[in-house]
Structure 1
Amino acid sequence: MYTPKPFEETRADVLAGLMRAYPFATVVANTANGFVANHLPFEQVDGVLHGHVARGNELVQMDGTEVLLVFRGPDGYISPNWYPTKHETGREVPTWNYAVVHVHGRLRVIDDAAWLRVLLERLTDHHEANQPRPWKITDAPEDHIEKSLRAIVGLEVVVDRVEGKFKLSQNHPARNRAGAVAGLRERNADGDVELAALMLEQEPKT
């Protein structure tokens, strides 16, 4: 991934935080028939990533394959009109701010109903936590759960390398960054508030 120095993010806690907040990843693998991509939620567990797919998914046949997982945080268009320096010199152009994490690793396919059940219980407990009446696996009939478990296969990605690119106007002076944050908040399109918050958290690099 092309990552100019101002946008390079290497702090493990920051990278893990984005992956927790935006767990829906694109999984890319290079096969004899070319590249394939799938889109799946993952959970971080002790330095590895866990997920699951339908038994018919092509990833089930890729045990041991090297994969790239792309986790995308908030992103959005940045207008040069938001930069004070644009109004002084005119020397600004539009851009796009975003945060992404690339995880390189090796895929392990896990065909184990007990393992899958523990994973699904964890996932549902986590993602249902903010519901007024959280759904639990035990809410469904046991035979239905057993049938569902037979239809899926577990995935584990052992992480070899992690790259982070947080392109958040760190190469601009503080007043331009403040202008972009204000512009995002005023526009308030999908993801703008989250992107503005992330920009405020990011320290500029020189």
Structure 2
Amino acid sequence: MYTPPAFRDDDRHSIVATIRGARLAHVVTATQAGVLATPLPLFLDETEGEYGVLYGHLAKANPQWREPALGEGLAIFMGPDAYITPSWYETKRETGKVVPTWNYVAVHAYGPVEFFDDAARLLDLVTRLTDMHESERPAPWAVSDAPPDFIQAQLRGIVGLRMPITRLEGKRKMSQNRSASDRAGVAAGLADSPRPTERAAAALVPVD
């Protein structure tokens, strides 16, 4: 990922927060059949390895797991993002020498991609993934709420994914390269947006 120094995010806590905050990732592998990508919900287990291990699952009918990966796989996690209009810049009023851009937060995680179909491991995976996303609901649904034979049948239709992370790249492009007055204008403009993701991006623009 191209990351100028002003936008590089090397803070482990910030990177993990982006991974955990992303509702969906994209898993990309290069194969003899070409580049393959699948959008997947993933969870990070930080108790394994130096950088942690990513887990998820895909449909058994998905050809991506059948094609051996050439080198490492890539999981892409996106945080808040927003279009930035030049109209928010003080520089527009001073010189007019401004253009639009896009602010965003991204994390790229790299590592070998492993697939598995062991029923016990799959049950543990889907249980952990479900519990993670149900935890904030007032009446969480649990995998154990469904009949066991139904769950076992569902497990036969998926393949588990395990990706031990070997390196992480974080990028936080939030107008750090603009003047203090331009950043203040961006933060104020985004804060007034009707889009929740843009309001979330407003809080990440450094204004001090």
Within 5 Å, give how 1:117-136 maps onto structure 2. 117-136=123-142
Of 61, 65, 70, 1:60 maps to: 65
Q: Which amino acid aligns with 1:164?
A: G
In 2 relative to 1, CA 32–63 (structure 1 residues): closer, same or farther, beyond 3 Å? closer
Query: In 1, are the aligned partners of 2:32 and 2:67 still within 8 Å (CA)?
Result: no
Whether contact under 8 Å (2:117, 2:159) holds in the other structure is yes
Structure 1 pair 25/53, CA: closer, same or farther in 2 (3 Å)?
same
Q: 2:54, 2:162 within 8 Å by CA — same for their partners in 1?
A: yes
Aligned residues: 202
Identity, in percent, stands at: 45
The answer to whether the aligner puts 1:45 opposite 2:45 as a matched pair is yes
Q: Distance in 2 between matches of 1:59 and 1:114?
A: 22
The aligned amino acid for 1:67 is G
Match of 2:147 in 1: 141
- Deviation readout 1:32-91 (Å, 9 max, x if unpaired): 121111110110013110001111222322466521111111111101111122212212
Taking the aligned partners of 2:135 and 2:34, their CA distance within structure 1 comes to 39
2:97 to 84, 91, 97: 91
For 1:2, give the aligned amino acid: Y
| Aligned residue in 1 for 2:5 | 5
Distance in 1 between residues matched to 2:6 and 2:54, nearest whole Å: 28
Counterpart contact for 1:109–1:156, Cα < 8 Å: yes
SS in 2 for 1:29: strand
**Kept after mapping to 2: 8 A contact 1:71/1:100:** yes
Comparing 14-23 with 60-69, which one deviates more in the overlay? Answer: 60-69
Q: Which runs of 5+ in 1 are unaligned?
A: none
The answer to whether the 8 A contact 1:62-1:109 is kept is no
SS of 1:114 mapped into structure 2: helix
Matches within 5 A, 1:1-206: 1-46=1-46, 47-62=52-67, 65=70, 66-200=72-206
- Does the 8 Å CA contact 1:63/1:108 hold for their aligned counterparts? no
Question: Could you tell me which amino acid in structure 1 is paired with residue 127 of structure 2?
Answer: E
Q: CA deviation at 1:121?
A: 1.4
| Equivalent AA in structure 1 for residue 171 of structure 2 | K
What value does the CA root-mean-square deviation take over the aligned residues?
A: 1.7
Inter-partner Cα distance in structure 2 for 1:126 and 1:2: 31
Q: Retained in 2: the 8 A contact 1:67–1:105?
A: yes
- Displacement of 1:23 after TM fit? 4.0
Deviation at 1:136, TM superposition (A): 0.6
**Aligned 8 A contact 1:116 1:153 in 2:** yes
Report the more deviating stretch, 60-69 or 110-119. Answer: 60-69
For residues 88 and 62 of structure 1, the distance between their equivalents in structure 2, rounded to whole angstroms, comes to 55
